[in-house]
Amino acid sequence: MSDHALNRRREERRARFLLLAPAMFLLLIAASGPLLIVVVYSFLTPGDYGGVVWEFSTKAWFNVVAQIDFFTEELTLADAHLSVFWRSLKLSLITAAMCLLIGFPTAYFIATRPAGQRDIWMLLIMIPFWTNLLIRTFAIMELIRNEGTVNSLLMAMGIIDEPIQMLFTEFAIMVGMTYVYLPLMILPIYASMERLDFNLVEAGYDLYATRMQVLRRVIFPLVKPGVVAGSILVFVPCLGAYVTPRVLGGGTQLMLGNLIELQFGQLRNWPLGAALSLTLLMVVMVALIFYVRAVGREEQRHG
């Protein structure tokens, strides 16, 4: 290769690097930077009025799962934290399952409409998405509170005498999150469903498969990528949800997001808040790894 060509290649490479640099810089600052700060903060000592004191400590991490009694100096598990963890995990799983239960038939319904109508149905699914999250959450609140639509209707019909307490329960949070995150389940499932060759469904029927068998043996395996994507898209933001549990849980049914906010706010324990955030991040990562692995194994067994 001539010197000339070599020079040109080197120049090209430099140009490419320079062009990429702003994006790389932004990524570093916007993604890794804050995360790094959180990691550092989780190993510091809380300041008296919020903020941190630059003094190394692992107390925050210790406090995530355990606590020492103030008077007896007895070591116990941090029950309060663990119950919040458990509630977050449980409600997120149930919400993802509910979204799948409602979202899958919805996506199937839309995908089987005539081509011209599908866009309208998708638009209807998207419209709530453009509304402020807080307003949507308050709308749910209006529905399920003691003097709300559901209770009034049930009482008017004489089915119940006293309103059912739904607001400020785990049920309320679950309903709220299902409503808020449902489009995130429908969209990816619809995307895979739309690509589905419906000749395959006919072939299934032709080969003696009943409706349920066609669903289980033909449709579901083929739209599984959409189901996986949708489940992740719902599960992950649910784990860290803040607004919905705050409004519908009424401050008594804390989830991880609320617990973290508390540390940075009223409790003025920034290192603990940082440690809890990182714990959430790790929980999500572990859950995803398990989920993706399980799905992959399934694929190998059937595929």
Partner 1 sequence: MLDSQPAKSFDQTQIPPSGGVPVIEIENVTKIFGAGKEAFTALDDVSVTIQSNEFFTLLGPSGCGKTTLLRVIAGFLDPTSGTVALDGEDILPMPPYERPVNTVFQSYALFPHLTVRQNISFGLEMLNRPKSEITETVNEMLALVQMEPMADRKTSEISGGQQQRVALARALAPRPKVLLLDEPLSALDFKLRKEMQLELKRLQHETGITFVFVTHDQEEALTMSDRIAVMKGGTIRQIGGPRDIYDHPAERFVADFIGDTNFIEAELLSTSDAGAQVKLASGMEIAASALGGEGSGSGRITLAIRPEHATLDGANGALLPGTLADVVYFGTDTHYHVDLDSGGRFVVRRQNQPDQAQTGTVGDKVGINFAPGIGQVLRD
User: Which stretches of the chain bind partner 1, using CB under 8 A?
Assistant: 197, 199-200, 202-210, 213, 217-218, 221-222, 302-303
Q: Closer to partner 1 at the Cβ: 46 or 204?
A: 204
The answer to whether 181 and 238 are in contact (CB under 8 A) is: yes
Q: Residue 236 contacts by C-beta under 8 Å, 6 or more apart in sequence?
A: 284, 288
* 179, two tokens: 């409503």
Q: Closer to partner 1 at the Cβ: 184 or 223?
A: 223
Quote the CA–CA distance of 8 and 6 in Å, as a whole number: 5
Q: Closer to partner 1 at the Cβ: 199 or 266?
A: 199
Instruction: Tell the burial category of 160 from Cβ atoms under 10 Å away from its Cβ (0-12, 13-18, 19+).
Output: exposed
Q: Residue 259 contacts by C-beta under 8 Å, 6 or more apart in sequence?
A: 81, 84, 276
Alpha helices (H) in the chain, listed in sequence order:
3-27, 33-41, 59-65, 79-111, 115-126, 133-144, 149-156, 170-195, 198-206, 211-214, 220-239, 243-248, 256-264, 270-302
CB of 239 to partner 1, least distance (A): 31
Q: Closer to partner 1 at the Cβ: 100 or 214?
A: 214
**For 261, how many CA atoms within 13 A lie in the half-sphere containing its CB?**
12
Q: Closer to partner 1 at the Cβ: 136 or 224?
A: 224
Q: Closer to partner 1 at the Cβ: 118 or 217?
A: 217
Q: Closer to partner 1 at the Cβ: 209 or 287?
A: 209
Q: Closer to partner 1 at the Cβ: 75 or 207?
A: 207
| Placement of tokens 């409706």 in the chain | 211
Quote the CA–CA distance of 230 and 238 in Å, as a whole number: 12
DSSP three-state, residue 9: helix
Q: At what angle do helices 220-239 and 170-195 cross, to 10 degrees?
A: 140
Quote the CA–CA distance of 299 and 303 in Å, as a whole number: 5
